């Protein structure tokens, strides 16, 4: 299928306005480019899909949604989860898309994009080696990036609706195609208990905001993360803007509870909107 947002729609409408009959545009939210053909009625993609100008004008008016074009039909990419009662929808950026959960973006999108946001998290605990635990799959960007250097990545997602969105998102393909990535559907708070001690060299903990998943910020959960980390292992914990009023408050509590859980060294990493906690060798 072809996935479009206002970015691609505006490019195509501008090409029509300029009188062009051929233009290069992305069929997969800025991941790749193809040459498409314009005529009086609409646009033909090389895979056989066709979209009329009326639909493109509709897409161009909405800057918060992504649309799937399949067999000539256009639908918004969104899923309501009966498990969490959260609406999830794919949200376009100039780079990789993010997902809105209950209206809240799950990646940084101001001054960056979700792909570079992910790179910042990975860099904070580099080198990413050995077995890696990703506690919140989301669109799978963290697991995908970690798998490039890790031996094996285990990623946990509580909501099947999240994976439904990821299966449509072109930027998430490697989440399902890479044999180094193991997916678990379940509550990370419970699933982590099943892992043996010292299973992982790195843990990337990027939970929803505190108000949506407070148990993932608890001392009890942090003690489990400390337990499953190997000696000299590293944990990245995403918090949000550490310099904001809310971020400062959450960070203080997170750092204190991480230290109480056994992480003696916890370092602020404001460029990645989080902290890195180290499990020292004994």
Whether 71 and 26 have beta carbons less than 8 Å apart is answered as no
The span from the CA of 154 to the CA of 240, in Å, is 23
CA 170 to each of CA 28, 65, 108, 251, 268: distance values in angstroms, whole numbers, following the listed order = 6, 15, 19, 33, 33
Peptide bond into 130 cis (omega under 30): no
- pLDDT tens for each residue of 63-113: 999 999 999 899 999 999 988 888 999 999 999 999 998 888 888 898 899
Determine the Cα–Cα distance for residues 162 and 87; give it in Å rounded to an integer.
10
Q: Name the average pLDDT for the chain.
A: 95
- CA 80, CA 111: separation in Å to the nearest integer? 29
Q: What is the DSSP string of 223-262?
A: HHHHHHEEEEEEEEEE-S-TTSHHHHHHHHHHHHHHHHHT
Q: Which residues contact 230 (CB under 8 A, 6 or more apart)?
A: 130, 198, 199, 200, 201, 279
Task: Delimit the domains of the chain by residue range.
Answer: 2-76, 107-278
> Residue 18: is its pLDDT beyond 60?
yes
- pLDDT of 282 over the 90 cut: no
Token pair, residue 214, equals 């407070």
CATH number of 107-278: 3.40.50.150
Confidence band, pLDDT 50/70/90 cuts, at residue 281: low
Q: Rounded to whole angstroms, how far apart are CA atoms 24 and 233?
A: 46
Nearest Cα neighbor of 261 from 192, 211, 186 is: 192
Show the 3-state SS of 29-73.
CCCCCEEEEECCCEEECCCCCEEEHHHHHHHHCCCCCCEEEECCE
Give the chain's count of helices (H) and strands (E): 9, 18
DSSP state of 196: P
% of the chain surpassing 90 pLDDT: 87
Q: pLDDT tens-digit profile of 28-77? A: 999 999 999 999 999 999 999 999 999 999 999 999 999 999 998 999 99
Q: What is the pTM of this model?
A: 0.93
pLDDT tens digit sequence for 210-243: 766 789 999 999 999 999 999 999 999 999 999 8
What is the share, in percent, of the chain residues with pLDDT greater than 70?
A: 99
Q: What is the dihedral of CA 194, 196, 201, 206, to 10 degrees?
A: 20
Q: Which candidate, 199, 243, 244, places its Cα nearest to that of 225?
A: 199
């Amino acid at each position: 299928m072809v996935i479009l947002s206002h970015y691609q729609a505006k490019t195509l409408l501008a090409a029509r306005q300029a009188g062009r009959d051929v233009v290069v545009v992305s069929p997969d939210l800025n991941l790749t480019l193809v040459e498409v053909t314009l005529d009086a009625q609409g646009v033909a993609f090389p895979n056989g899909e066709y979209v009329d100008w009326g639909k493109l004008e509709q897409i161009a008016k909405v800057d918060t949604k992504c649309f799937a074009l399949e067999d000539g039909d256009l639908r918004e990419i969104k899923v309501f989860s009966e498990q969490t009662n959260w609406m999830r929808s794919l949200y376009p950026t100039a780079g990789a898309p993010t997902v809105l959960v209950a209206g809240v973006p799950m990646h940084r999108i101001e001054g960056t994009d979700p792909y570079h946001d992910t790179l910042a998290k990975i860099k904070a605990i580099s080198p990413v080696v050995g077995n890696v635990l990703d506690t919140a799959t989301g669109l799978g960007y963290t697991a995908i990036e970690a798998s490039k250097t890790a031996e094996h990545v285990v990623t946990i997602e509580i909501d099947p609706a999240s994976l439904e969105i990821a299966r449509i998102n072109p930027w998430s393909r490697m989440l399902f195609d890479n044999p180094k990535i193991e997916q678990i559907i379940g509550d990370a708070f419970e699933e982590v208990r099943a892992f043996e001690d010292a299973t992982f060299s790195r843990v990337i903990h990027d939970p929803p905001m505190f108000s949506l998943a407070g148990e993932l910020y608890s001392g009890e959960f942090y003690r489990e993360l400390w337990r499953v980390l190997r000696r000299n292992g590293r944990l990245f914990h995403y918090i949000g803007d550490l310099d904001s009023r809310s971020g400062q408050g959450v960070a203080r509590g997170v750092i204190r509870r991480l230290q109480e859980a056994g992480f003696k060294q916890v370092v602020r990493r404001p460029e990645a909107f989080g902290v890195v906690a180290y499990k020292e060798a004994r």
